[in-house]
Structure 1
Amino acid sequence: MANIKKGDLVQVITGPSQARGGDRGKQGKVIEVLTEQDRVVVEGVNFVTKHVRVGQTQRGTKTGGIETHEAPIHVSNVALVDPKSKKPTRVGFREEQVTKDGVTKTVRVRYAKKSGEDL
């Protein structure tokens, strides 16, 4: 089971500080998880500029120019944010019994280690 999933609130814990133009300390939602490369794309973090060649769409409008979008960041450089304290925390797993339609199942549930609250 993955520690970080799409839609989670995470905080950047490494890299240059915001005073030096970096992203450390910024919080954002996970847009995409790239499991093969162990990377995540976080909303509002790690912006890169991309130069796109000028072209035309079907309607005849011009496309291209300089675009900025979020680039992937390694999963070890972000930490999940505790929903209670809004600070980065470690993730634990515990087994819980879930009953659905009369069938009891054991499921693994993520929780924030500092507050004990489910994620």
Structure 2
Amino acid sequence: MANIKKGDLVQVISGPSQARGGDRGKQGRVIEVDAAKNRVVVEGVNFVTKHLRVGQTDRGTKTGGIETHEAPIHVSNVALVDPKTKKPTRVGFRVEKNADGRTVRVRYAKKSGEDL
């Protein structure tokens, strides 16, 4: 079971600080997870510019130019945000029984920040 899933609120915990033009400390939702490469795409974090070749659509409008979008970052550089304290935290797993009586693993946020 993965620690970070699509839709989770995460915070960047490594790299240059925002004062130096980096993304450390920024929070955002996970847009995409690449489990094979251990990478995640977080909205509003790690913007890169992409140059697109100029072309034409069927209607004759021009396409192309320079666009910016989020690039993937390694999953070890982000931490799940605790919904109560809004601070980065570690993830634990609990084994519980659901309504059907099946045993399932449930993610939960461990203590974070000054709670320790």
Q: Is TM > 0.5 for Structure 1 vs Structure 2?
A: yes
Tell me the equivalent position of 1:64.
64
Q: Percent identity?
A: 85
Given residue 86 of structure 1, which amino acid in structure 2 is its aligned partner?
Answer: K
1:81 aligns with 2:81: yes
**Runs of 4+ displaced beyond 4 Å:** none
Given residue 110 of structure 1, which amino acid in structure 2 is its aligned partner?
Answer: R
Tell me the equivalent position of 1:30.
30
2:101 to 101, 104, 109: 104
**Cα distance in 1 between the residues matched to 2:84 and 2:59:** 49
Question: Which segments of 5 or more consecutive residues in structure 1 lack a partner in the other structure?
Answer: none
- Per-residue CA deviation, residues 50-86 of structure 1 (Å, 9 max, x unaligned), is 1111011122111101100000000000000000000
Question: Which segments of 5 or more consecutive residues in structure 2 lack a partner in the other structure?
Answer: none
Given residue 27 of structure 1, which amino acid in structure 2 is its aligned partner?
Answer: Q
- Tell me the secondary structure at the aligned position of residue 19 of structure 1: helix
1:114 to 97, 111, 116: 111
- Tell me the secondary structure at the aligned position of residue 76 of structure 2: helix
- Tell me the secondary structure at the aligned position of residue 89 of structure 2: coil
**Cα distance in 2 between the residues matched to 1:30 and 1:59:** 35
RMSD between aligned alpha carbons? 0.9
Given residue 20 of structure 1, which amino acid in structure 2 is its aligned partner?
Answer: R
